[in-house]
Structure 1
Amino acid sequence: MNDIAAPRARDVLRRGPFVSLLAGQFVSQLGDGLIYLSLIIMLNRLLDETRATAAIGILLICQTAPRVLFGLLAGVYVDRLDRKRLMIVADVARGLIVLACLLVTRPDDIWIYYVCAALLSALSAVFAPAKSASLPHLVTKDQLLIANTLSQTGFYVALTTGTALAGVLIGVFDSPVPAIIFDAISFGVSALFIAALPLPHHVQRASTQRAAQVWAELKDGLRFIAGQRLLVGSIAGFSLTMLGAGATNVLFVPFVVNDLGLSETWVGFIDLTQVMGMVAINLFVARIAARYTPAVIFGAGIVGLGLSIAATGWVQQAWVLFPLSVVWGLTIAPVQASAATLVQSVPDAVRGRAVSATETLVGIANVLSMALAGLAGSAIGVRSSFIAGGLIAALGGVLAWWVMRSAVLSDQSISGQLISQPAEIPVEIDQ
């Protein structure tokens, strides 16, 4: 255990630029939540049960695969180019692309959802590491964990509020149009908030730089990550966890609607209870991180998440999903906040690549899991898929604990100086 005083949330919330980023992302993620569930519900309505499950799987893969394919390369450019400009361009482009979803009116048009999802994902591959790499410039280092905690809480509150509203809006308007329009506007709002942030200006390097140098920078970043045992443990554990848990994202809506007989509206309310768990535990995340090692936080959190996912396979009464969903929130929140803080605490020159590498490797596992979800659902059934996926996810917690347990923690506390003596980067990286 560590004896480090926990920073206070109110001190972080006094930092205007951070609050501006938080507000802009809240609006944008509210829109994302609206359209995310709206598209899944529309696929479930437009297609029969068998085709809908496959279509949802394809949609989720389209939302993830481009981030996997372009994530590592995007990280190099996030470290080379002006991050604020990258985020603004990505937001404006995403706002325009999402409007194309309005063209879907019949089953033959669903390919438009796939194309839009893929393009949005590719742009997110740039936006997400740029945003994460910028956060340490808006708060002090000892406030980084609580800033990530607040960011994670805001993300899930907005996303879940959006999914809850999606079911209501589709029930009222019988159309995803309101959600699509709101999401497009939300990207514009996010761009305005980001434009006002006092971020350092990155010196833009020549775009004609040889591919060999870009590849060399990518390898430098990966080599740096490989030398940080805490990062390796968090990435390895999360990757195995997503290999098991990713399938549940595909199967959850069909499970709730088709197996338990609930309407689509209830999916959002179930998600809302997960956020309640996250908000509750986030009040204590800084204290937890100050008392327990990263190995314990990751191991216990992910094992708890995996076992609660597995328990879903035995649910016969719909009400049981609500306390289970609370457990999902309680277990995953400390893990996510701690993981983000670990990655953001690497040197700024390599931070974009560290974030991108983490998202890419975890994303690969997620895509594989979602790709196999339809096959697993058909071969062993939806309930057995939850059980198997949850147990695999729990093994991810064991793996994270095993890799991280031997890391030197005296100067690598999650709540303070995470990586106070970083490994040397093999090749100098020009700014």
Structure 2
Amino acid sequence: MATDRSAGYVRLLKSNRPFRNLWYAQVVSELGDWLNSIAIFALVLNVGGTGMAMATVMMAKLLPIFFVSPIAGVLIDRMDRRAIMMASDVFRFVVVLGFLLVEDQNDLWLLYTLAVVEIALAGFFEPARSAVIPSLCTREELVTANALSGSTWSVMLALGAALGGGVVSLFGIKAAFVVDALTFLVSAFFVSRIDLPAKAAARTEDGTPRTKKENGWVEGMKYLVRRPVVGVLSLLKSGLALGGGLMTLIPLYANTLFSTEAAISMATGLMYSARGLGAALGPVLVKRFFGDSTRVLQLSIFSAFFISGIGFYFLSRSFTLGTAAVSIGLVTFFGSIIWVFSSALIHLEAEDRFLGRVFSTEMAMLTLVMGLSNWWVGYSIDHLGWTLSEVSRGLAAAFALPGTCWGLFLLVRRRAEKKKAVDSICPVEPSDSKLPPSNY
């Protein structure tokens, strides 16, 4: 049962105006993002793209974050985080309109380039959004805020993917890109309405760091080493990203089930909707029935790795749209638990002045792993001759590694905490040979 201290989702949105505006920006922006993804998938398939071409698009939409994150993390901790989010939105509005210029296979280079620039800008927006949440919420609201943000991502995935499939089928690919571009302007408007508390505003009011050393990228890496729990938490999403090749698998599954562009786009949208629906329910239900204590969050992450792997195995045995959608929903139901609860634990453990670099490092690693996962899917299909079922089973097996590592980390930390507790109750008296012998 959830704790009484944890804030309700509706109550949080009603009572916390700054977070409400941040949430509005997330809703609009992510709705357009997923509509954009469906349009890009349809565009690649429409110009005769192969499995490797699809994987290349996925890598173009992921890997740039790995390279911009060291810069993004430092700037996020030095500057006004609202200004960074707004600038990212405005620039992405311009970039997305560039997709309208892609006409045929000869323009794939332009599509890849635009995808790289768009995701590089997202590498500034998303860590800034994650880093600003603790400045807008009380400690008791953090788990609720993260669960709401995670569920919103999932719901927008479901709605955006379904909307994208419908818009592409009815109005064409270019219409989807126009709608996506406009969502960035709306998002920037809501971000501009966020009022940071005085404490957070004072930290960034002159746009300069306290010291260069404290705000440098190297110092951020040293912080992760000094705080191993934060360092390990920042790698959990990278473990989840081992299954990121699902993004390439979904349109390829749709392409094997259907033959027309409209049907493929609709099937892709429906499977992405199943992905979003599953992800929306996971953290919410766990929090509702088991609470949001630190121990619950930790054990839920451990269990989720293995059950997500089972979902991938079910996907390997799926040969219809319905069974594939259910399997994908199972994967993301538990995958979202890893995503949301790891973010909440980082907010509870890390210092605010390092959050930009922590979340940028986290995003860099997860996008690197996710990009490699998508590349592996495309390479295995095009060059190794693997079937979609064989690739799905490979992803299922991969999830056992991060789950096992997280379980071992929890075990070691638990034992260390018990030993520390025992030592504090029964301290060992130091011996001193210089003391005179007792007369008693």
Q: Which residue of 1 aligns with 2:399?
A: 393
- 1:129 is displaced (CA, Å) by 1.2
Moved more, 314-323 or 349-358: 314-323
For the structure 1 residues 298 and 227, does the alpha-carbon distance in structure 2 shift closer, same or farther, using more than 3 Å as the test? farther
Moved more, 264-273 or 278-287: 278-287
Q: Are the equivalent residues in 1 in contact too, given 2:36–2:180 (CA < 8 A)?
A: yes
Task: Give the AA of the match of 1:265.
Answer: M
Q: Which residue of 2 aligns with 1:368?
A: 372
Q: Which residue of 1 aligns with 2:8?
A: 8
For the structure 1 residues 204 and 115, does the alpha-carbon distance in structure 2 shift closer, same or farther, using more than 3 Å as the test? farther
Q: Are the equivalent residues in 2 in contact too, given 1:24–1:189 (CA < 8 A)?
A: yes
Q: Are the equivalent residues in 1 in contact too, given 2:162–2:269 (CA < 8 A)?
A: yes
Q: Are the equivalent residues in 2 in contact too, given 1:239–1:361 (CA < 8 A)?
A: yes
Task: Give the AA of the match of 2:99.
Answer: C
For the structure 1 residues 355 and 126, does the alpha-carbon distance in structure 2 shift closer, same or farther, using more than 3 Å as the test? same
Moved more, 163-172 or 2-11: 2-11
Indicate the SS of the match to 1:64.
coil
How many residue pairs align between the two structures? 403
Q: Are the equivalent residues in 2 in contact too, given 1:236–1:400 (CA < 8 A)?
A: no
Q: Are the equivalent residues in 1 in contact too, given 2:73–2:357 (CA < 8 A)?
A: yes
**2:21 counterpart of 1:20:** yes
For the structure 1 residues 394 and 156, does the alpha-carbon distance in structure 2 shift closer, same or farther, using more than 3 Å as the test? same
TM-score computed with the length of structure 2 as normaliser: 0.84
Q: Are the equivalent residues in 2 in contact too, given 1:230–1:404 (CA < 8 A)?
A: no
Measured in 2, the distance between the counterparts of 1:193 and 1:82 equals 15
For the structure 1 residues 88 and 409, does the alpha-carbon distance in structure 2 shift closer, same or farther, using more than 3 Å as the test? farther
**2:244 counterpart of 1:246:** yes
Equivalent of 2:337 in 334, 341, 363: 334
Q: Are the equivalent residues in 2 in contact too, given 1:4–1:290 (CA < 8 A)?
A: no
Q: Which residue of 1 aligns with 2:230?
A: 231
Measured in 1, the distance between the counterparts of 2:64 and 2:160 equals 24
The CA deviation string for residues 167-225 of structure 1, in whole angstroms up to 9 with x for no partner, is 1112112x211111111110000101011101243144569x99xx5798212212222
Q: Are the equivalent residues in 1 in contact too, given 2:271–2:325 (CA < 8 A)?
A: yes
Gaps of 5+ in 1: 412-431
How do 1:30-109 and structure 2 match up within 5 A? 30-47=31-48, 51-109=49-107
Q: Which residue of 1 aligns with 2:388?
A: 382
Measured in 2, the distance between the counterparts of 1:332 and 1:149 equals 13
For the structure 1 residues 106 and 215, does the alpha-carbon distance in structure 2 shift closer, same or farther, using more than 3 Å as the test? farther
- 1:63 is displaced (CA, Å) by 0.9
For the structure 1 residues 133 and 99, does the alpha-carbon distance in structure 2 shift closer, same or farther, using more than 3 Å as the test? same
- 1:85 is displaced (CA, Å) by 1.0
Task: Give the AA of the match of 1:344.
Answer: H
Q: Are the equivalent residues in 1 in contact too, given 2:304–2:334 (CA < 8 A)?
A: yes
Q: Are the equivalent residues in 1 in contact too, given 2:77–2:215 (CA < 8 A)?
A: no
Gaps of 5+ in 2: 418-440
Measured in 1, the distance between the counterparts of 2:292 and 2:228 equals 18
- 1:277 is displaced (CA, Å) by 2.8
- 1:288 is displaced (CA, Å) by 4.0
Q: Are the equivalent residues in 2 in contact too, given 1:241–1:392 (CA < 8 A)?
A: no
RMSD: 2.7
Measured in 1, the distance between the counterparts of 2:194 and 2:415 equals 34
Measured in 2, the distance between the counterparts of 1:192 and 1:409 equals 49
Identity %: 21
- 1:237 is displaced (CA, Å) by 3.9
For the structure 1 residues 134 and 317, does the alpha-carbon distance in structure 2 shift closer, same or farther, using more than 3 Å as the test? same
Equivalent of 2:184 in 187, 200, 203: 187
Q: Are the equivalent residues in 2 in contact too, given 1:149–1:285 (CA < 8 A)?
A: no
Q: Are the equivalent residues in 1 in contact too, given 2:52–2:375 (CA < 8 A)?
A: no
Q: Which residue of 1 aligns with 2:195?
A: 198
Equivalent of 2:412 in 406, 409, 412: 406
